[in-house]
Amino acid sequence: MSDMPPVAKKVPVERTHHGDTVVDEYAWLFSKDDPDTISHLEAENAYTQEMTGHLKDLQETVFQEIKSRTLETDLSVPSRKGAWWYYSRTEEGKQYGIQCRVAADGDDPPALTPGEPLPGEQILLDGNELAGDSSFFSVGTSAVSPDGTKLAYSTDFTGDERFTLRFKDLETGELLPDEIPGVFYGGAWSADGSTFFYSTIDEAWRPYRVHRHTLGSDDEVIVYQEDDERFWVGVGLTRSQRYLVISSGSKITTEVRVLDADDPTGEFAVIRPRETGIEYSLDHAGDRFLILHNRDAVNFELATAPIGDPAAWTPLIGHRDDTRLLDVDAFKDHIVVHFRRDGLAGIRILPDGAEPYEISFPEPIYDAAPGGNAEFETSRLRLGYTSMITPSSVYDYDLRTHELILLKRKAVLGGYDPADYEQFREWATADDGTKVPISVVVRKGVKRPAPTLLYGYGSYESSIDPYFSVARLSLLDRGFVFAVAHVRGGGEMGRRWYEDGKLTRKKNTFTDFVACARHLKAAGWSSEIVARGGSAGGLLMGAVANLAPEEFAGVIAEVPFVDALNTILDPSLPLTVVEWDEWGDPLHDSEVYAYMKSYSPYENVDSRPYPPIIAITSLNDTRVLYHEPAKWIARLRDSAKGGPFLLKTEMGAGHGGRSGRYDAWREEAFALSWILDRVGVTK
């Protein structure tokens, strides 16, 4: 096998926008059905395999480390819904989880015995049986009817996130004859369990219709269609299960419709007509709705509205410049608000008839969020907690005693001790003087400066909060520093943090990341830095490789959005029109076009020396199409110095990569061994 890289053929295609003509030599790679495209991707895979062949033993070692630290036969903490406790479990040697339930007996969740199913278990879905011999498998929807007698679930066997919806009688275990292909994620039952609501997508992979399906009939009714191509739609239930909710939203605007769940054939009513720039969400509590919105409140405020007049919003928690309200959950006797302040998440309780308060947590950096709270009437709040050194933990918070009750902490085998590791919060200074937070974790006693993996995302107001990773231990125990750059464009510091890293301020995301890398070196943390990011974080990787290639010993970009300008110029592609509120509209706005062209990674590759770069993608990805990294690597190889530049394509997977847990561990072992190799660690 040759160690010469594949040479992508050049088929020049000229495109002119706003008087600017560009030549794209690799546009032909967009054609997924072209045998030349598949041949090229296969040649790239073979070359990558050849160039990483020396890492085979290290890959296997890291895979075995991940596997040996993981309790392979395990089960989640059961969550109460109605007369049942619901949970999932895994079995050693099996790729996928198993969804189960047991009858409820009392208010306390059943005691967990590692490695053993709970007595009286009923299996709802066994992902291993459903997957069969398929190389890819994913569940998009799993929803039990309110009376607990039926299950709606959907499956995908290719990774293109187009699911087939089926229904199961949980009393007999039999599948019902109803089968609906081409559905999207999510769905909701009517109160009597006779009807299921679901959404479907258009040709641009945009969920735009909500359908009503009556079980056992051909009654398939479109109850809502969203014709504005900027908006996605979804359907769900309020926590009380009293109201069906259709949410239609763009990146900056929301419109919500509700319908009494007892009247599934009725008409959905609009809560408040859409108004550009106004976002809101809804939950139900007694005789009122709770509305979380950003009208005259950049960080959002919480309001109440009478059910009979849902557009009349009365403030309950007013706006604060230092606190971003993220979500609200209504319960019978209290309200729970999830918020963000000073770069950390928090939980606020509003008890009926008592003073509000916040739950405190012991570590200086952490992540906490409500989770698994299916019951409307309860005196306990289920929440999840983790940090850079504390494995994922499940707590019940007793609202009567204010006690945090640890129900389970993810087992880490092999003698892991959190006391052997340290976590820190650093602050870099960006080019414009903005202080950018960095979360850092390192094993105690590691001599610094040390090789560092710096991770970043920085888009869509998504926050990369401090989190624990079993796989990461393979880096830390080999003397690495791991850091997350909380750059603008994310949501770590509130809505303004996001707005300062989007549209025509997007470059702040990239310069922030470079500032974080330079700070880690200047502060004595880091010697060589490898950068990593995926999806929109892959755009970040491509941009910083162009901006400051000398700062990085390697760049790993997963399903990377590196052909951003060409994608956002094409309204026929998945997500493009929806994304104009995030990136701008270069098709109709010459200033946006010029701005995006100035940072889009594919357009800005030059002849300077670049660090080694590997792009990992999937052929069936519907979010960031495979051709983006394929074109990027071809141009790097043709124009830039340095490298090597590698492309690895999963030929049967989607945006999240391979679906089975063992397959995913092997993919992570591949990535980590490449990262280790960049700094000369070979064992």
* Residue 372 confidence (pLDDT): 79
Q: Which amino acid is at 595?
A: Y
Q: How far apart are CA 200 and CA 179, in angstroms?
A: 14
Q: How far apart are CA 495 and CA 272, in angstroms?
A: 22
**Residue 124, both tokens:** 């709802």
pTM: 0.92
Query: Is the domain of 407 the same as that of 418?
Result: no
Report the chain's mean pLDDT, rounded to a whole number: 94
Residues labelled as active-site residues: 535, 621, 655
Residue 462 resides in a domain: yes
Q: How far apart are CA 463 and CA 338, in angstroms?
A: 14
Q: Cα 44 to the chain's mean position, in Å? A: 28
Query: Is the domain of 81 the same as that of 42?
Result: no
φ and ψ of 299, to 5 deg: -95, 10
Q: How far apart are CA 438 and CA 481, in angstroms?
A: 12
Residue 235 resides in a domain: yes
If you search the block for the tokens 């941009």, which residue do you land on? 543
- Say whether 639 sits in a helix, a strand or coil: helix
Query: Is the domain of 163 the same as that of 49?
Result: no
* Residue 385 confidence (pLDDT): 97
| Domain boundary, last residue among 390, 411, 432 | 411
| Domain boundary, last residue among 289, 321, 353 | 321
CA-based nearest residue to 675, from 604, 606, 614: 614
Query: Is the domain of 386 the same as that of 475?
Result: no
Q: Tell me: the pLDDT tens digits for 145-202?
A: 999 999 999 999 988 889 999 999 999 999 999 999 999 999 999 999 999 999 999 9
Cis peptide before 110 (omega within 30 of 0): no
Query: Is the domain of 450 the same as that of 543?
Result: yes
Residue 394 resides in a domain: yes
Q: How far apart are CA 317 and CA 290, in angstroms?
A: 11
Residue 510 resides in a domain: yes
Q: How far apart are CA 624 and CA 534, in angstroms?
A: 10
Query: Is the domain of 163 the same as that of 303?
Result: yes
If you search the block for the tokens 């590692």, which residue do you land on? 114
Domain extent at residue 119 = 73-126
**Residue 363, both tokens:** 């570590």
| Domain boundary, last residue among 268, 296, 321 | 321
Query: Is the domain of 367 the same as that of 302?
Result: no
Query: Is the domain of 57 the same as that of 116?
Result: no
Residue 683 resides in a domain: no
Any idea what the CATH number is for the domain that residue 55 is in? 3.40.50.1820
pLDDT < 70: residue spans in the chain: 1-2, 653-659
Q: Other CB atoms closer than 10 Å to residue 136's CB: what's the count?
A: 22
Residue 420 resides in a domain: yes
Query: Is the domain of 507 the same as that of 628?
Result: yes
Give DSSP secondary structure letters for 393-453. EEEEEETTTTEEEEEEE--BTTT--GGGEEEEEEEEE-TTS-EEEEEEEEETT--SSEEEE
Cis peptide before 644 (omega within 30 of 0): yes
Query: Is the domain of 439 the same as that of 537?
Result: yes
Report how many domains make up the chain.
4
- Say whether 504 sits in a helix, a strand or coil: helix
Please state at what angle helix 56-69 crosses helix 661-678, rounded to 10 degrees: 130
Residue 616 resides in a domain: yes
If you search the block for the tokens 């089960």, which residue do you land on? 75
**Residue 42, both tokens:** 């296969």
Q: How far apart are CA 4 and CA 265, in angstroms?
A: 64
Could you tell me where the beta strands, DSSP code E, fall in 158-277? 163-169, 175-183, 188-189, 195-201, 207-214, 220-225, 232-237, 243-249, 254-260, 269-270
Query: Is the domain of 664 the same as that of 638?
Result: yes
Q: How far apart are CA 556 and CA 663, in angstroms?
A: 19
**Residue 682, both tokens:** 């070979």
Q: Tell me: the pLDDT tens digits for 27-49?
A: 999 999 999 999 999 999 999 99
Residue 486 resides in a domain: yes
Query: Is the domain of 471 the same as that of 515?
Result: yes
CA-based nearest residue to 145, from 224, 83, 66, 207: 83
Region of 72 please: left (phi>0), alpha (psi -120 to 50) or beta.
Answer: alpha
Any idea what the CATH number is for the domain that residue 152 is in? 2.130.10.120
